[in-house]
Amino acid sequence: MKLLDHTSYKVTLELTRHELHLANALIQEGRISHECDSPEGKALEDGVRSALIMVEEALKAGQEKISTH
């Protein structure tokens, strides 16, 4: 994980695919175990899940390009 930028209001991080999977799992488990149904918690989980889907789709598209050559 690499800290790219930060202010007193937000942080920009760079995560590897593996780190993104771990963050997704930790967020899901944390929300379940703490019964966190807040809009912020849901938005965080949805955002990380969306990022993970995009990364996996990019990986799949890259593998398809390699296998067609």
For 18-43, the pLDDT digits (tens) are 999 999 999 999 888 888 888 888 99
- Residue 36, number of CB atoms within 10 A of its CB: 14
Domain that holds residue 43: 2-67
Query: In angstroms, rounded to a whole number, what is the distance separating the alpha carbons of residues 58 and 64?
Result: 10
Task: Tally the domains of the chain.
Answer: 1
Is 68 a residue whose pLDDT tops 80? no
Q: pLDDT value at position 32? A: 84
**Full-prediction pTM beyond 0.85?**
no
